[in-house]
Structure 1
Amino acid sequence: MNIKLKLTIVSFLQLFVWGAWLTTLASYGFGFKQWSGAEFGIVFSTLGLGSIIMPPISGIIADKYLNLEKLYGIHHILYGVILLFLPAIDSPSTFFWVLLIGMMFYMPTLSLSNSLSYAVLKKFNFNVIKDYPPIRVWGTIGFIVAMWCTNIFSNVNPPFSFGIGIGKTIASITNMPVECNQFYIASFFAFALGIFSFTLPKIEPTKDESTNKTLSQIFGLDAFKLFKQSKMAMFFVFSMFLGAALQLTNMYGETYIHDFKNVPEYANTFVVKSANIVLSISQISETIFILAIPFFLRRYGIKKVMLFSLIAWVFRFGFFAYGDPIGSLWMIIMSNIVYGLAFDFFNISGSLFVETTTDSKIRSSAQGLFMMMTNGFGAILGSLGSGFLIDTYFTTPEGKDWHNIWLTFAIYALIITVAFAVLFKHKHDPKDVEAFNH
């Protein structure tokens, strides 16, 4: 099989096995399992904990002991095993510990998949800058397809009739309710990806100086000295706050739309039946906005591009606050469209900011710290903080007050936007764009 085709399959399945359950976990927890907001927040914090704990350990193993493609495959097989246990668990505390183990296997693969693709492309003398982006975009497509599959095959009232038969067939085989199908779908393809990984070219452990790093360097602790610089400290703090914002839409977007079923005039609309399909517009938008980043960077510079992202988060939450499946459907659609700008512009320009403002000796650690602040500490802040707020202020016997929930999140994003504009000092340098292009 063509090497680039193999890597494309890996990229597609990498996010498919995550997207199959990530955006529907809230509906599963709130609706099917009847967990509280605080309980769900604790469960969702496993993504952040997994992002902090396991990636450095996996890096050590790949550097010193095991072929990268084998380690990658083993991670996915073990992740697939853990997913099989989730449907039988009712207790949120037990679910937390089991999912945490699953996330400790899965979260490192987000970076391992990049490293694997880079190494294979270089081994076969491909141009990484030219050939990797068309491969990586299939990861986002995989996430979109997974969301559609879950909506169609894990829904008691799917938008397309053929989904009922297939969904019930899976449920009968597993002897579990149809709502649990999402975990079985993800598990099956995680096993497939894990096995497929063993067919990839061998990427043996490196013997260079990276294997002799101190524990401080391995865990990215050297990069923490960047907090002594006010600009870098400010950047990392805002990265954490934005990481929290990202988790809010991953956590609650699907269940927000799904809860419109409690309003009779909305109950049978396509939007309510197809919440995950509607939300997949966000990922489609993401693939488009990422292509616009070079233009915006050249014209406006890194700080303004990041500021555009923050403003987009305000609109993301604000549109959700005032949207509905009929009269204001356009607001829900627009919320999903601006998500692409909100997500891509900060993550890409933020990574570029780190790349162009840190010493080469700690650059990798600094990038790891950036990811730790967004996907690690930011995810935990968003998960636990939002769960507490929703339970305390926005939950009644009639249900959740989604209008004020999203409005509160919009105000949160607006405060961060204003603070960032005032406090974060960075002058545009055209060399930053050159670094992006090369």
Structure 2
Amino acid sequence: MGIKSRLVLMNFLQFFIWGSWLISLGNYMGASLGFSGIQIGGVYTTMGIASLFMPGLLGIVADRWINAERLLGICHLIGALLMLYATTVTDYFWFYIIMLLNACMYMPTIALNNSVSYNVLEKKGYSIVTDFPPIRVWGTIGFIAAMWTVDFLGYTQSAGQLYVGAVSALLLGFYAFTMPPSPPLQKETKKSLMSTLGLDAFVLFKQRKMAVFFIFAMLLGAALQITNAFGGPFLEDFKTDYPDSFGVQHPNLLLSISQVSETVFILLIPFFLKRYGIKTVMLFSILAWVFRFGLFGIGNPDDGLWLLVLSMIIYGMAFDFFNISGSMFVEKEADPTIRSSAQGLFMIMTNGIGAFVGGLASGWVVDHFTENGIRNWQYIWFTFAGYALVLAIIFPFVFKVEKGEMVKEE
């Protein structure tokens, strides 16, 4: 097997693991374990908590002491054992603790997976810019494949999804050890702990536009967590009125359209940035979140299925036009000496603080509109849509970029 094919398999498995449970775990916790909305949201905050410090800490380990591919394998093997143990737990406290530990193992592997891929491609004489994206897209395909696997096996409401995740984590855990070595880089000047964690990039908050950008990155990171946690339970609650509908019978298939849409909108980013500029592209993203939630509020898996499908398609714009374009904006605006740290700060604000806040806040909103065990999903989604609409109204007035800064060409 050629090295590109080996990297394709590694990226496929990396995100297959995540896709096996990320979207459907809320369904399992609500329908099978009987957790409340705030408890479901709480479990999803574990990824935000882990993202605050674990990628940086294990980045230090990979930079200084252990080969990146070995550390990648160790994390996945430990994660596999944690997921297997999670299948036996029904108590909320211990389930939360195990999923927190699992997040601490999984979240750093996203960066480690990239590091190994970059290192291998460079050593083999390939271009990261041109050769990595076609490899990385197989990660998204792996995520979709996992969602479909869990759906077709009927595991969306059972611990079976965790077994799928554990088995795939075991496979990648052992497979990672067979990858070409990515040893620690021996540098005369070691990066400080502050630099590795991305904390020295907080100097960017002295610039008004960057402070505003990072604040909105956090607020939109919260929006992303909402549908991760409650998309599955939302469709599950239609089983009484539309038990035979496609969305109820195959919730993961329907939700996976969002990931398919991601792959399309990534390719459209260069055109939109050149045509409209960074500020407008980011505003498109925020408005897309309004429609994402609003369409959920008026759609259903039967005669309103087309509204749900449209919401899934819009998700690609909502996610990519801020997360991917935002990462490019940070890369361009940050001083070269702190660019890596700035990207770390961007991850902290979106996947760390944003995910934590989004998990807790969304759980509170769901519980607030739940009476006698019945959730008023229309009120819930309209509340989220209102939240995104407020952000869309405020953003153009507070986020200022000068002419020439990734703006529309005259």
TM range (shorter): over 0.9
Match of 2:172 in 1: 193
Would the alpha carbon gap of residues 74 and 433 (structure 1) be closer, same or farther in structure 2, given more than 3 Å must change?
A: farther
Asked whether 1:86 is paired with 2:64, we answer no
Q: Distance in 1 between matches of 2:407 and 2:89?
A: 49
Whether contact under 8 Å (2:72, 2:173) holds in the other structure is: yes
State the 1:427 CA deviation: 3.1
Q: Letter of the aligned partner of 1:249 in structure 2?
A: T
Q: Map of 1:18-417 to 2, 5 A cutoff? A: 18-155=18-155, 179-209=158-188, 212-263=190-241, 266-391=242-367, 393-417=368-392
CA distance, structure 2, for counterparts of residue 426 and residue 77 of structure 1: 45
The separation in 2 between residues aligned to 1:255 and 1:64, in whole angstroms, is 43
Give the deviation of 1:215 after TM superposition. Answer: 2.2
Contact in 1 for aligned 2:265/2:317 (Cα 8 Å): yes
Q: Are the counterparts in 1 of residues 67 and 184 from structure 2 also a CA contact under 8 Å?
A: yes
2:303 aligned counterpart, secondary structure: coil
Q: Is the 8 A contact 1:43 1:93 kept in 2?
A: no
- 1:431 Cα deviation from its structure 2 partner: 6.1
Contact 2:84–2:166 (Cα < 8 Å) also in 1 = yes
| 1:241 Cα deviation after fit | 0.3
Provide the C-alpha distance between the structure 2 equivalents of 1:23 and 1:433, rounded to a whole number of angstroms: 36
In 1, the alpha carbon distance for the partners of 2:182 and 2:95 equals: 35
Q: Structure 1 residues 143 and 413 mapped into 2: Cα distance closer, same or farther (>3 Å)?
A: same
Q: Is the 8 Å Cα contact of residues 303 and 428 (structure 1) preserved in structure 2?
A: no
Work out whether residues 244 and 379 of structure 1, in 8 Å CA contact, stay in contact via their aligned partners in 2: yes
Deviation at 1:319, TM superposition (A): 0.4
2:87 counterpart SS class: helix
Q: CA RMSD in A?
A: 1.5
Q: Do the aligned partners of 2:273 and 2:406 also contact (CA within 8 Å) in 1?
A: no
More deviation, 140-149/424-433 = 424-433
TM-superposed CA distance for 1:199, in Å, is 1.1
Partner deviation per Cα, 1:4-57 (whole Å, 9 max, x = no partner): 000000110111001101101111111111111111121111010111121111
Q: How big is the shift at 1:413?
A: 0.4
- C-alpha distance in 1 between matches for 2:41 and 2:148: 24
SS state at 1:260 partner: coil
- The alpha-carbon deviation at position 432 of structure 1 amounts to 7.3
Secondary structure in structure 2 of the residue aligned to 1:23: coil
CA contact (8 A) 2:296 2:381 kept: yes
CA distance in 2, matches of 1:413, 1:422: 15
Using the aligned pairs only, state the percent identity. Answer: 49
Given that 2:155 and 2:161 are in contact with CA atoms closer than 8 Å, whether structure 1 keeps it comes out as: no
Distance 1:329 1:80 in 2: 36
8 Å Cα contact 2:278/2:406 also seen in 1:
no
Calculate the TM-score normalised by the size of structure 2: 0.97
In the alignment, structure 1 segments of 5+ residues that lack a partner are 157-177
Q: Which runs of 4+ in 1 moved over 2 A?
A: 427-434
DSSP 3-state at the match of 2:23:
helix
| TM-score where L is the length of structure 1 | 0.91
Residue aligned with 2:181, SS? coil
The answer to whether the 8 Å contact 1:150/1:182 transfers is yes
